[in-house]
Chain A
Amino acid sequence: MKVVVDLKLCEGNQRCMEAAPEVFDVRDDDKAHLLMQNPPESLREKVKLAVRMCPRQAITIEG
């Protein structure tokens, strides 16, 4: 699975990091950074939760 964050939309709300800390890290620039581009299947549910919780709907899963 590939994860993409639209940085133009992202406003550092941190919800992604709460849902899937293995994958998302919101840094001092108030943007979500990906700790892995292709998270393993075992993290799919967590990433799906992040997609859902992101208030700006900035995260998409490809594949």
Chain B
Amino acid sequence: MSQQQISLENLNVIGPDYYAKNGYPHAEWTYLREHDPVHWCEYPNTDPFWAITKHADIVQIAKQPKLFSIAKRLLIFVPDTPSEPDPVPPFRHLLNMDPPEHGDYRGIVSARFTPRAVRSLEPQIEAITRKVFDGVTGKSRLDFVTDISSKVPLAVIAELLGVPQKDWDQLFRWTNETIGGSDPEFQDGTNSDETFDRARIGLFNYFNNLVEEKTKNPGNDLTSVVAAARINGAPMPQFEMLSYFLLLVVAGNETTRNATTGGLRALIENPEQWERLKKDRSLLKPAIEEIVRWTTPVIQFARTANEDTEIRDKKIAAGETVCLFYPSANRDEEVFENPFTFDVGRNPNPHVAFGIGEHFCLGANLARLELEVIFRELIERMEYAELAGPVERLRSSFVGGIKHMPITTKINPARN
């Protein structure tokens, strides 16, 4: 949609079909940032909300978790038919908890996710990544998503959680179904609710058994840490514990995968940036930040006002929801110079692709390290890559996904 055709009355930034067909509605977001950065949205099949599109507003909202609750409405969900009930009584995990409870739950594992702690995982992540690349060495045509980008994040989190290798494929399937439930490719029930529920129950049962085992024989893995956790002196309730695992498995998967896929795509479409990175490896870290800004895999999370308040010139009433559109903030002209330019040397890069404040992505440092290892391997071993067909997008207005990205390429054997 070109800027001229957009008007405040007709724009839609939340319909999953739009995302499946066109990708992110950047033209619409740009229009909103300029004309109505805090925009009231009423669409079929979902409760109304304010679309927040400016970087500064997202930061202000996210750092006031007492004023803006996440527990009341986690995200804007748009079911296919109005009769479907909101499928979200389900989990209770740190992502949908408010303070002070949120801090108690986050503290259980946060020490495992600092830059220092994740650095120690580098050899394992390298081994996983190398194996994935070895598996496609010499192949001239592949689907980058199913062959490469989907494999690393799942393996890493499975390893961290101490899930035995034989169960990784099953875990992968459930994860796809939990996040991509509204996409027909990942539905195995008759509709998205059924698929979603089935996957969720599968994961719950699986981790229930794993917890039992890790309670008897604790290891150094995350499952053992969560299984042994105490909240205010008492064991974590079973439902909360299983939700914790579900969050850890799901949160780092599709997101890191899509940053990887979108990152290669950006390098293919900006060959001079690929060259630059090849010549100067010191650009790897800023390049990863730029890939994360550029792709911004999480489209939105929401907050709901606990009291009447104001954002810019708009009065937000208690009980009203604000929807934080991260990809829009990451193209904000007031924060980023040439926001629509992919620049692997961009610095500073205060993007909010991992959120900010109270719920700042717990796995951000892990995701950064995974991406660093993957792109280091890629730059070393992938001689070239070209798109060999149209990319297929996930039908979701929550996680922006590329389901399939066929490429022609040449991947060399590892050097040593």
Interface residues of A (CB under 8 A from B): 8, 11-14, 19, 28, 30, 49, 52-53, 55-57
> Is B11 located at the chain interface by the 8 A CB criterion?
no
- A11: chain B residues at CB < 8 Å are 110, 113-114
A-B contact pairs, 10 of them (CB 8 A): A11-B114, A12-B114, A12-B115, A19-B348, A52-B350, A53-B350, A55-B354, A55-B364, A56-B360, A57-B62
Q: A12-B116, A28-B116, A55-B354 are in contact. List 5 more A-B contacts (CB 8 A).
A: A11-B110, A11-B114, A49-B348, A55-B356, A57-B63
> Is B271 located at the chain interface by the 8 A CB criterion?
no
Within 8 A of A (CB), among B95-116: 103, 110-111, 113-116
| Bound CA–CA A49/B350 (angstroms) | 9
- B356: chain A residues at CB < 8 Å are 55-57
> Is B59 located at the chain interface by the 8 A CB criterion?
yes
> Is B357 located at the chain interface by the 8 A CB criterion?
yes
Query: Measured between C-beta atoms, what is the minimum distance from A25 to chain B in Å?
Result: 13
When C-beta atoms are compared, the residue in chain A nearest to B285 turns out to be A18
> Is B365 located at the chain interface by the 8 A CB criterion?
yes
Is A53 a contact of B348 with CB atoms below 8 Å? yes
Is A8 a contact of B103 with CB atoms below 8 Å? yes
Is B114 a contact of A13 with CB atoms below 8 Å? yes
Interface size on B, residues (CB 8 A): 21
Dominant SS among interface residues on chain B: helix
Is A13 a contact of B59 with CB atoms below 8 Å? no
| B114 touches which of A8, A30, A57 (Cβ 8 Å) | A30
- A55: chain B residues at CB < 8 Å are 354, 356-357, 360-361, 364
When C-beta atoms are compared, the residue in chain A nearest to B106 turns out to be A11
| Bound CA–CA A12/B116 (angstroms) | 8
| Bound CA–CA A12/B113 (angstroms) | 9
Interface residues of B (CB under 8 A from A): 59, 62-63, 103, 110-111, 113-117, 348, 350, 354, 356-358, 360-361, 364-365
When C-beta atoms are compared, the residue in chain B nearest to A11 turns out to be B110
- B350: chain A residues at CB < 8 Å are 52-53
- A12: chain B residues at CB < 8 Å are 114-116
Using A55-B364, A57-B59, A57-B356 as known contacts, say yes or no to A14 and B115 having CB atoms under 8 A apart: yes
Query: Measured between C-beta atoms, what is the minimum distance from A54 to chain B in Å?
Result: 9
- B354: chain A residues at CB < 8 Å are 55
| Bound CA–CA A13/B360 (angstroms) | 11
Query: Measured between C-beta atoms, what is the minimum distance from A20 to chain B in Å?
Result: 12
- A52: chain B residues at CB < 8 Å are 348, 350
| Bound CA–CA A14/B114 (angstroms) | 9
Query: Measured between C-beta atoms, what is the minimum distance from A58 to chain B in Å?
Result: 9
- A13: chain B residues at CB < 8 Å are 114-115, 364-365
| Bound CA–CA A11/B115 (angstroms) | 9
When C-beta atoms are compared, the residue in chain B nearest to A56 turns out to be B360
Is A30 a contact of B364 with CB atoms below 8 Å? no
| Bound CA–CA A16/B116 (angstroms) | 15
Query: Measured between C-beta atoms, what is the minimum distance from B356 to chain A in Å?
Result: 6
The 8 closest A-B pairs by CB, nearest first: A12-B114, A57-B63, A55-B360, A30-B114, A57-B357, A52-B350, A14-B115, A56-B360
| Bound CA–CA A53/B348 (angstroms) | 9
| Bound CA–CA A14/B59 (angstroms) | 19
- B360: chain A residues at CB < 8 Å are 55-56
Query: Measured between C-beta atoms, what is the minimum distance from B325 to chain A in Å?
Result: 19
Query: Measured between C-beta atoms, what is the minimum distance from B360 to chain A in Å?
Result: 4
When C-beta atoms are compared, the residue in chain A nearest to B115 turns out to be A14
| Bound CA–CA A14/B365 (angstroms) | 10
Chain A CB within 10 A, most for which of B110, B356, B361, B364: B356
When C-beta atoms are compared, the residue in chain A nearest to B361 turns out to be A55
Is B116 a contact of A56 with CB atoms below 8 Å? no
| Bound CA–CA A55/B357 (angstroms) | 6
